[in-house]
Amino acid sequence: MNSESKNRARQLLAQLTLEEKLYQLSGQMLFGVESDYEQKRNHKEGNSRNPGHFMHAKREKPAAPSEVAERINRDVRLTMDAHPHAIPPIEHGEALHGAQWGMATSFPQPISMASTFDDELVARIADVIGKECAVVGVRQALTPVVNIVRDCRWGRTIETFGEDVLLSSNMGVAMCRGLQNNGVIATPKHFADNYSDGGRDSNYSDTSERTMREVYLKPFEKCFKDGGAMSVMAAYNSWEGVPCSCSERLLTEILRDEWGFEGFVVSDYWGVEGLYEAHQLVDDYYKAEARCLKAGLDVNLPHSCYEKLVKALEKGEITEADVDRAVLRVLTAKFDIGLMDAPFADPEAADALVRCDAHKQLALEAARRSIVLLKNHNVLPLDRKQIRTLAVFGASANELPVGKNYSGPYQRLWEAEDAKTPLQYLSEYLGDSVKVIFAEDDKIEEIASACDAAIYFTTVVEGEGMDRSDIRLPAYTKKKQADESAIIVGKFEIEVKTNQEESIRRMSACNANSIVMLLNGAPVDMSAWVDGCGAVLEAWYPGEQGAQAMTEILFGDVNPGAKLPITFPRSVGQLPLFYCAKPSGRGHGYVENDGSPLYPFGHGLSYTTFALKNVTCNTKGDSLQISLDLHNTGDRDGAEVIQIYLSGRNCDVAMPTKELKAYKRVEVAAGKSVTVTLEVPAEAFCYYDRRMTYGMHNGDYMVSVATSSIDVHQAFEARVREGKVLL
């Protein structure tokens, strides 16, 4: 934050009454924007869940961007009028894979973005999301989720960038920069380590400080130092016996004293209240408020805490100096993003910008780059000249592939007149030349056996409040999102009316050209059916343009080049399973299998082939430089992701068996070659020694040049001595 913003914030703070200060730390959320909205709204509150999020539920058509901007402008104007010093509120909302105030551009879910291994693409996506937030007046986004997933049973895996620290850090930084560059406060979450054994959301963390620092804290630190994020959301869970919302260790000692963070901390929704309801740490809400404020949490979301703060002051639990410290952080951010000088949105600009052709084209590019080809036994790409009938099964074929997680506003899933379901786009794409037959699963033998190819679109039950103990494709189930997790889009229901595993086996048995299109946000157990089918594509939830991208990949108009950002286990019994585990004293195998995954981190196939030649490794200052010639040896243009892993030994502590330290997605034309250079920075060789001192300590390393975490093409020996990398 710049010095001018700090000075202006200090000057304003000195003029505020205690009441004005307290309202800057408080917020409000109203679930409906009805005729009595303004009677219920206390416009003194300094933070508001933007009303645009709630405007669409009872309308025949969703509100236009201009209408959202006008409604938010009115809320800002009334708030400024309610303040002697005309301080505008921070209108906040979600922006996980698109601005969520209404029907803004819907990009692939974060786990999908991560599979692109394309930082520059994610930076462009983030820029669009930032613009589509700011243009309607949403000035704080409660995103990105940079929690590292080491157990995919966690229902919120879909919201993350996967299991790797480097990949998650880089994509988190890209998201933060895109938001912040457009005057929108980025809010990485959930700080920190907010799921536990079994993938249980928000359960207590017994993670050691070593693992916390080596893994779970690193992406947050990068988001602040490199991404410029001005806020952070404290998690619901406890760590070292203390809820994160009131952890002085996390919110003051690490976040501020060590990392130099100058922004403000917000609670997860009702996280402060959780101190006495869930954690039973205190016996009154005002005591919880006081304890959080003292520890370093500044703003309580989503409902008003004004009266609790007043009581905490009266009881001597907090002082006005505690209040001033927090208010100064909030005011500084308001000045820094330009909110104090330009608090209103431009409705006309909103209609012109939101979901413009360029933004939809970027959503299509992202979808094309995010779909992973997991398996292909000479089935894909399909040849339009050879296919006359195509069978389509699975309820998800008839749904927009955006996913129900953080998609669309309250009580209304994302929609657009020009968005297509997979079935719609397939039918339009193939036209009269191919007959597309969509049928229920009880017709599989009859339909699939008579068609030239068959596709099954899967349905998975997952999301916030939907952790899983079984990662197989669900069968015969109806699940509703938990009440406490239904704030974002309203409680949604997912119903599966068939045994999907059995259906896939039946389809594969009667059609050799059988394809499974996975629509999901986390790994699934495929052991019961994967051997029988001809091809498997991991589409994740590819966003509003996903139907076109899936179709283009099926028929070879686009060559898949994405890679898995998370390990796919053979079964739930292998969990937790991730590629960069530390060495075992005995081994990683089981009686049933050798412990290896079904598909490893970094895996992804192509319709072409590549060769890595002339691989060299040289020192360059404090870093390593890897150079190679990447040849496309096939007859289709394609992309490969070059991945550099380090394996440490003879270090001061046990190191991961391997860890990703550099990567680059490279496009190569058919039959052509390009020279690729990657840098492994000095930081890649830093670690915490046995005294928990971070630095470039001595050690020996294997530097692997690979195309997945197990597909190593060449390796080099390197060592660190006295702070220098040597070959």
Q: Are residues 35 and 151 in the same domain?
A: yes
Cβ atoms of 150 and 163 within 8 Å: the answer is yes
Tokens 């005002």 map to which residue? 286
pLDDT digits (tens, 9 = 90+) for 255-293: 999 999 999 999 999 999 999 999 999 999 999 999 999
Is 596 within a domain? Answer: no
Q: Are residues 540 and 634 in the same domain?
A: no
Bridge pairing between strands 694-695 and 699-706: unpaired
Cβ atoms of 544 and 359 within 8 Å: the answer is no
| Mean pLDDT for the stretch of residues 618-647 | 96
The pLDDT of residue 480 is 77
Q: Are residues 327 and 377 in the same domain?
A: no
User: What residue type is 664 in one-letter code?
Assistant: K
pLDDT digits (tens, 9 = 90+) for 588-605: 889 999 999 999 999 999
Give the model's confidence band at 483: pLDDT under 50 very low, under 70 low, under 90 confident, else very high: low
Is 587 within a domain? Answer: no
| Mean pLDDT for the stretch of residues 102-110 | 98
Structure-model confidence comparison of residues 465 and 170, the more confident one? 170
Cβ atoms of 473 and 457 within 8 Å: the answer is no
Round the CA-based radius of gyration of the chain to a whole number and report it.
26
Q: Is the pLDDT of residue 107 over 80?
A: yes
Q: Is the pLDDT of residue 165 over 80?
A: yes
- Of 352, 382, 413, the residue at which a domain comes to its end is 352
Cβ atoms of 565 and 162 within 8 Å: the answer is yes
- Residue 494's contacts (CB-CB under 8 Å, 6 or more residues apart) are 404, 459, 461, 477, 478, 479
Q: Are residues 330 and 413 in the same domain?
A: no
Q: Are residues 58 and 91 in the same domain?
A: yes
Is 415 within a domain? Answer: yes
Helix (H) or strand (E) holding 173: helix 165-180
Q: How far apart are CA 375 and CA 605, in angstroms?
A: 7
- Residue 249's contacts (CB-CB under 8 Å, 6 or more residues apart) are 239, 240, 242
Distances (CA, A) of 452 to 188, 455, 527, 573: 47, 11, 25, 37
Total domains, the chain: 3
Q: Is the pLDDT of residue 491 over 80?
A: no
| Mean pLDDT for the stretch of residues 503-521 | 98
Is 593 within a domain? Answer: no
The pLDDT of residue 482 is 72
- Of 574, 594, 628, the residue at which a domain comes to its end is 574
Q: Are residues 326 and 471 in the same domain?
A: no
Q: Are residues 532 and 661 in the same domain?
A: no
Q: Is the pLDDT of residue 5 over 70?
A: yes
Q: Are residues 561 and 621 in the same domain?
A: no
Q: How far apart are CA 364 and CA 105, in angstroms?
A: 11
Q: Considering the entire predicted model, what is its pTM? A: 0.97
The pLDDT of residue 579 is 97
The pLDDT of residue 481 is 76
Give the model's confidence band at 515: pLDDT under 50 very low, under 70 low, under 90 confident, else very high: very high
Query: Residue 207 belongs to what domain range?
Result: 3-352
The pLDDT of residue 485 is 65
pLDDT digits (tens, 9 = 90+) for 446-457: 999 999 999 999
In sequence order, the β-bridge partners of residue 724 are 721
Cβ atoms of 159 and 466 within 8 Å: the answer is no
Q: Are residues 323 and 397 in the same domain?
A: no
Is 599 within a domain? Answer: no
Is 580 within a domain? Answer: no
Q: Which of 435, 6, 484 is closest to 262 using CA atoms?
A: 6
Is 17 within a domain? Answer: yes
Give, as one character, the DSSP assignment of residue 629: E
| Mean pLDDT for the stretch of residues 547-560 | 98
| Mean pLDDT for the stretch of residues 41-69 | 96
In sequence order, the β-bridge partners of residue 618 are 625
* Residue 362 structure tokens: 């970027």
Q: Are residues 14 and 114 in the same domain?
A: yes
Is 603 within a domain? Answer: no
**CATH number of the domain where residue 485 is located:** 3.40.50.1700
**CATH number of the domain where residue 313 is located:** 3.20.20.300
Q: Are residues 549 and 435 in the same domain?
A: yes
Q: How far apart are CA 83 and CA 101, in angstroms?
A: 25
Bridge pairing between strands 435-438 and 610-620: unpaired
| Mean pLDDT for the stretch of residues 475-504 | 83
The pLDDT of residue 100 is 96
Q: How far apart are CA 675 and CA 258, in angstroms?
A: 40
pLDDT digits (tens, 9 = 90+) for 286-322: 999 999 999 999 999 998 999 999 999 999 999 999 9
Q: What is the mean pLDDT of the chain?
A: 96
The pLDDT of residue 490 is 78
**CATH number of the domain where residue 678 is located:** 2.60.40.10
Alpha helices in 304-441 (DSSP H): 306-314, 320-336, 347-353, 357-370, 422-430
The pLDDT of residue 294 is 98
The pLDDT of residue 261 is 98
Q: Are residues 147 and 288 in the same domain?
A: yes
The pLDDT of residue 494 is 83
| Mean pLDDT for the stretch of residues 207-228 | 98
- Of 352, 381, 411, the residue at which a domain comes to its end is 352
Question: Which range among 81-90, 583-592, 714-723 shows the weakest confidence by mean pLDDT?
Answer: 583-592
Alpha helices in 181-239 (DSSP H): 209-211, 218-225
